[in-house]
Amino acid sequence: MKAIMVMFDSLNRHMLPPYGCDWVVAPNFARLAARSVTFDNNYVGSMPCMPARRELHTGRYNFLHRSWGPLEPFDDSMPEILKRNGVYTHLVSDHYHYWEEGGCTYHTRYDSWEITRGKEGEPWKGQVKDPVIPPSVGSRKDRMWRQDWVNRGYMKREEDQPQPQTFALGMEFIRTNCREDNWFLQIETFDPHEPFFTQQKYKDLYPHDYQGPHFDWPNYHRVTETPEQVQHCRYEYAALVSMCDHYLGKVLDLMDELDLWQDTML
């Protein structure tokens, strides 16, 4: 058994070509769909980050038991079950809730794990001086908002962002172990979860006339923004989806290069 699971957090199927979207640039999602199964009828148990991971690990509904939290000591964990039965399990992720208090104990169920940092205001880079923050729609005033702008200052290049680094680690694992048997790799990125921070080349895929304040991190509330602001934020999300598509394509290219379609499930 060789298996690769690629996970994108907060990926909206209505924004993907396999589900009928005709304006988001995501050719690699369509490419994957062409040689796999597309599920048209999906039911979710828990939507938030760690409750959803608990369901993926255990196969049980989390919200029947509790809300946000770690794996419980009595939980059966999918990667741990694989590990106990001779399947090597490896996680690469930039999803910082894995190593955050209250959301931890998931990544330790794998044989090994690698992390990249800096998403969603994660306390990554230390800077006492306040960062420069542009006027923004619904400007947040919390610690995460400030820290996210500190982190962005260290992500001037695409390769400095956590998602490209996460996929690079995943592909390194594939190249190292592709001729071995009995392994499971989980490549998991927090994107396209908000904030919808990406590079200009992806934004350029969605040209539009917007002169308003910065807006790539919507709040969780009823819509109070103008239609122009809402549409701009959708384009910001779409740009990040296109970035996700680009790195998914790198995995597909590697599957082609190494002829892994013959013996590896994706």
Place of tokens 């908000």: 194
pTM to 2 decimal places? 0.96
Over residues 128-164, the pLDDT tens digits come to: 999 999 999 986 778 999 999 999 999 999 999 999 9
Q: What is the pLDDT of residue 185?
A: 99
- Look up the CATH number of the domain holding residue 84: 3.40.720.10
Torsion angle (degrees, nearest 10) of CA 92, 94, 100, 103: -70
Instruction: Write out residues in the chain with pLDDT < 50, as ranges.
Output: none
Q: What is the pLDDT of residue 160?
A: 98
Q: What is the pLDDT of residue 141?
A: 76
Identify the sign of the CA torsion 111, 116, 117, 120: negative
Euclidean distance between CA atoms 244 and 167, whole angstroms: 10
How many domains does the chain fold into?
1
Euclidean distance between CA atoms 118 and 124, whole angstroms: 6
Owning domain of residue 244: 2-262
Q: What is the pLDDT of residue 42?
A: 80
H/E run at residue 3? strand 2-8
